[in-house]
Each structure stands twice: as structure tokens, then as C-alpha cells.
Structure 1
């Protein structure tokens, strides 16, 4: 496979993963991006039955189970997290004002079936891994003996198609809602700032001495800056300061 076709596939994976985890403001389409109250929950835990990376979570199925049992579920192990047997996978609590019911073996079987574990990370729902793949392609191009800064430039350019729309108006999903707009499942997606830091830190660690790589980094920074405001604009200012010192 040519590096250009590989980069294109990774770019598409990143866009898909970002669309899965980040949305615009408000509560719609069964999700919320608003801060969720801690609540007075008394949590119980569901542990992993096997070792492996969390590859995917069936969010709608999890919401359905939580609605039927009037529970709130916190997903403590997100796509990309590695677990060993017994690690906390989910935390469950009755919704405030509801009665506590012990979990049956059938309940546990259904909850475990909603989370797919595997031997390796995949980009399907794992936005951090999708971005990491793009960074690794860039780093390989800058590695000693390869000396291909244009690969790193392409990686920075391609990342913009996912990062700029995300940076402009999207927030990480904070809750998946049932049909009554009740928050039933609480995820922990990485903050957009974390993704932006990943792409700059990963490439600039190895590409700081290549002028065309620095130009591409400034180009990505400018694209992000065109759509940034408030705290996100301030975050870019700190990145710009680091670039200016190189």
C-alpha cells in the first residue's frame, strides 16, 4: 500500500471516530454535551471478565438496558483503554429516587456483551488511536534513515479535516440519553485540547528541524485559530508560543 493511500484511510478513520465522539452544543440525537451533575449516586461496579483493549461500546444497547432498569451507567473503560480481568469496566447506580435492585447473572451477561474487548486497539470508536496512527505515519517519515518530511507535512494537513470542525463548534459527548431525554450512560471522551496537543507534540518532537514541517504546523495552527474563541484560542496561543521558540 502506498503511503498516500494509507494516510487517506487513516484520515477517514479519524473523521469517523471524531464524528462518533464529538457533537455540537445542546441535547439532541440522543446525546448531550453539557456538563453532567455528579448526583448522589451509590455506585456498584462491573468488572472485566477478560484481558484486552476496549474496541467498541454498544451505546444504544447500554442506554436501553439502563432505561429498562432505571439505572445510570458510567463507562469507566473507554475505547482504547486496556483492561485485565477484574478491572472496573462499568459503574452502575439507580437513578436518584429509584429503588436498588441486585444485578442478576443475566444482567451481567448483557452488560458484558455490550463492550467488545480485543487484543489490539482499533480506530472505530477510539479517536485517540485514530489520531495516533496519523502521527505515527508522520513520525516514521521523519525517522533517522527515512528523511521524508513531506509525509509529516501531509499528516498535519490531513488532520485538519477532522480537527478544524471539531475545534470550531464541537464538544465531547458527556451523556447518552434515553427516549425521555434522561441521561443514562456517561462516557469519558478525551477533550479536544488533548487531541490537538497530540498532533503537535507528536510531529514537532521529530520535525522541529525541518522548515517545511514547521510551515505545515503553523498552517494547521492558523486553520484552528480561524475558528477558535475563548479558552480554545488561549490554548492555541500556548502552542504558538512553543512553535515560535523553535
Structure 2
């Protein structure tokens, strides 16, 4: 495909178009919390304990109907043997939770100070950590219940009122599950101490944003604007917008709503947030529209295309700081930055359109453009790494590779970045031979 045809295709497919997912925002919000999974585990443990108690009563009643004293005696003997184990679980599980997770939090704090404060979110979103914490707490609650049942019944097989056989068996099973999750948790936590693993996780999350399907579409930015809505609420970072709800409101009014700020922008009260294209059938419910916005203290990956690059650049800058002085880590970050830009080099950028069930466009959402992504990726690393030949060689290799892949209309910003890189090295390195060495492309920096 020629450059001109690719440019035409990109001009006609400059819009990413997709249907809204109703629960995507809620799912992302819950993933950014550490309380939801443990709370579900505690409730689940209480419900499971109640079910096991009912099953225990049913089993014992059946044995009594059959006058199976031998069976009752065997259940009592097994329960007595498991009673000591369950008691140990109840007394030691909570202490183990406190010690393990306290050490983990200290490790995460050290890692965040070494690389970036935004690395903490990887721990908060880690499914293994949440599952382990939930399993530990659930086992503790369930063991208390089992211990209560073990001490509440008679041990005479002829007059036994309650033998928690099933409850004791489930408690032991929960301990085994907790131990397996603990091994997985240790492995995951240790991997978070490796910067290569942290960079990989950030890069993988960032790549998911580029997985949107695109198709040709048209959005007329010059269409008459019937109204503009200003933000009213607590100041904070725009984390996401409830797309499905906003599309339903726009569909009822037969208008197109344009979200003016990008996801990740900081909103303050009074800032314009929505432009309404088309005349509403009736007065637009401004409060309902504004309730579709969600703000928070920090950015998230949900719909935020530039946040992954921001974190990778932060890690590279931290590595290049005089306090750390680790250019190899910066090169690893540049590897992933190039991977992201390579995936975005032919991706439709500029704006994202959401449509209703009938296929009509109802929400227009601005996205970063190609120039913005390239400048975000290189403009801060370039001056910070100008004195490190390993970094400048890797930057040149990345820019040259992207130049070979990019269409003609996307090459200008890459050529400009190459010129700025050469100028930065010329200002920093006095010797001509050293400058030539520093500006030689090398995908390993200095292999």
C-alpha cells in the first residue's frame, strides 16, 4: 500500500467507533479498590458456613434415622481430630495476614520510591494479592464458625445434637487453598520487585487501550452547538465517563454530546465539559448528564490512552535521575515505549465515537493524536538521557524504526524528534567521536 493511499484511508478512518459497555466503568472502579474482594470473601465465608451447618444437620439426621451409631461415632472421631487443626487456624491465620501484608506494603513502598509512585496501583489491581487476602480472611472467619460448632455439641453418639463434619472438612480445604494462594502471592510480589516485570505489566495494560476496533466514520466538529455544560462537582482527574448512560440520554433527546476534556484531564468547577450538537427535544437534564462523569485523585488505565506512556516515561526519568543513575532501566522503558508506538502507528487517533443500539453516534470523545503521543514518549527522556550514550543510541534506533513504519503524514514529528536528539547530544557531548558513537542506532543501547 502506498503512502498516499494509506493517508487517504487514515483520513477517512480517523474515528474509532464502538458500542458502549454498560459495566466497564464499574468493573474498572472495583479493580482499583482493595476492599471489594475481601468483603465478598467475608460474606461468602459466612454464607458457606451457614450452608455447611445445614448440611451437617441433614447428614446427622439421616444417620439417626438409620440408627447408624458407628457412622456417628466415626464422624465424631474425625471432627475431634480436625478440631485441633481448625483451632490453630483460627488463632494463627489473622496474625499471618498481618505479618505477610505488612511486609508486602513496605516492599511496595520501597519500589514506588525507586521507580514511580504510580507503581502502587499495580499492587492494588493485582488479582493474586486480592484473592490471597480474601482467602485468608475467609478462612479465618470460617474457622471461627467451625470452632464454635465443634464446641457446641455433645460427643455422645447416642445423644449427639450436632457434629460439624462437613464444616470441619471445608475448613481444612480452605486452609489448603490459602496455602496455594500464598505461594502464588509470594511469587507475584517478588516479581513486582523486578523493574522489568513492572514495565511489562504497564505495557500490557496500555496495549489494551489500543485494541479498539475502528471503522470509517464522520464527525462534523463544525456542526452548530446548541449548548455547553460546565462541570459542577468536586475537582479531580477525569477518570472516565459512563458511556452507556450518556448515550441513552443523548438518544432520548436526539442529540450528539461531545466530551470536551480528555480522559485524564484535571477538572475544576466551572470548566466546560460537554458541547451539545443538535437541538434537544426538551430541556436537557444537566444534572443527569454531569452525573455520568467520574473524577478521582489519580488517573487510571480505563479509556486513558496516554496513561501507560506517562508511567513508562516516569520510570525512565526516575532511572536517569542522579539519585538512581540506572540507564539500563531507562532502555527497558524505551523498549516498551517503542512497542506501544509501533502498535499505534497505524491506529486511528484523534477522536472516539460511541453509538446507541440503533447505530447512531451519540458521544464524541477526544483522544490523543499521533503527535501528542510521540512528544509524550520522547520529549522528556531526550534531555534527561542526552548524557548517556546507552539511552541516546536506543532512542535513535526507536525513532528510525518508527520512521520506517509510519505513513508520510506521521513522519514529520518523528524526524523532528531525531533533529532534537542530535541537538541535545551536540550540546552535551563535546568530543566529535563520542557524539558519533552516541548517535549510532542500537536497539540494545550499548549491547
Structure 2-normalised TM-score?
A: 0.48
Q: Per the alignment, do residues 114 and 127 of structure 1 end up closer, same or farther by CA in structure 2, a change over 3 Å counting?
A: same
2:270 alignment partner, SS class: coil
2:368 alignment partner, SS class: coil
Deviates more, 1:199-208 or 1:9-18: 9-18
2:412 alignment partner, SS class: helix
Cα offsets for 1:88-141 (capped at 9, x unmatched): 232224x3xx5541134xx623x2332211112223222222211110100010
Q: Which residue of 1 aligns with 2:363?
A: 185
Number of matched residues? Answer: 232
Cα offsets for 1:159-209 (capped at 9, x unmatched): 122211211343233422334443321212111211111111121121011
CA distance in 2, matches of 1:117, 1:228: 35
Q: Which residue of 2 aligns with 1:13?
A: 205
Q: 1:2 aligns with which of 194, 206, 220?
A: 194
CA distance in 2, matches of 1:222, 1:82: 34
Q: 1:160 aligns with which of 335, 338, 351?
A: 338
- Report whether the alignment pairs 1:140 with 2:318: yes
Q: Which residue of 1 aligns with 2:374?
A: 196
> Cα RMSD (Å) of the superposition?
2.1
CA distance in 1, matches of 2:365, 2:273: 12
Equivalent residues of 1:168, 1:224 under 8 A apart: no
Q: CA deviation at 1:239?
A: 1.5
CA distance in 1, matches of 2:270, 2:206: 31
Deviates more, 1:212-221 or 1:84-93: 84-93
Q: Which residue of 2 aligns with 1:70?
A: 254
Equivalent residues of 1:141, 1:152 under 8 A apart: yes
CA distance in 2, matches of 1:238, 1:71: 41
Q: Which residue of 2 aligns with 1:101?
A: 282
| 1:113-152 paired onto structure 2 within 5 Å | 113-152=291-330
Q: Which residue of 1 aligns with 2:350?
A: 172
- Report whether the alignment pairs 1:39 with 2:223: yes
- Report whether the alignment pairs 1:56 with 2:240: yes
Q: Which residue of 1 aligns with 2:406?
A: 228
Structure 1-normalised TM-score?
A: 0.85
**Structure ranking higher on relative contact order (CA contacts 8 Å, 6+ apart):** 1
CA distance in 1, matches of 2:230, 2:282: 14
Q: 1:210 aligns with which of 366, 371, 388?
A: 388
- Structure of higher CA gyration radius: 2
CA distance in 2, matches of 1:126, 1:48: 22
Equivalent residues of 2:349, 2:368 under 8 A apart: no
CA distance in 1, matches of 2:283, 2:264: 29
Structure ranking higher in strand proportion? 1
Equivalent residues of 2:253, 2:280 under 8 A apart: no
CA distance in 1, matches of 2:272, 2:373: 25
Deviates more, 1:149-158 or 1:53-62: 53-62
